[in-house]
Structure 1
Amino acid sequence: MTTTKRIHRELASPAEIAALFRLDIKTVRRRIADGTLPAFRVGRQIRIDVASAEAALMRPMNAAAVAMIRAEAGRRTS
């Protein structure tokens, strides 16, 4: 007889992730779109593993990423 291990993951919607990490929902959606925040669909809903989100969002950014964010912010204020 074989036994099956169940893996319990805490899943959240993009809005819940935004609230949990105090981010704008647009930031969460951008991160999903550019692939830095892993997400998957369950039917028509997008779900994110909370542990994966924490790892992805708390990772330090390299200098190129920081420069890109600053340039984007500068364009918005101009």
Structure 2
Amino acid sequence: MTAMPTLAAEAQPSLFLILAGVVLVVLLLGAFWYGSLRRRSAAAPPRPAEQNPLMQRREDSWQTPQEHAREEEKHRYPH
């Protein structure tokens, strides 16, 4: 056997692995690009100043019944 057929036979599996690696890198880059596009197009979360004041965290998590009644009075709609 000459050296040429032996070298040619040994090069095919490595060529396949190189092509598979290139395809994998292209797929990963495409996935990253697609993910960054989706993230940019998604709505940003509201800033604290833009949030509803009723939905914001209170500084004090405990209230007396009197404080709770006062808060309820503030938020009642006129009849």
Query: TM over 0.5: same fold?
Result: no
Question: TM-score per shorter chain, which class?
Answer: under 0.3
- TM-score, normalised with respect to structure 1: 0.26
- Please say which structure displays the higher CA radius of gyration: 2
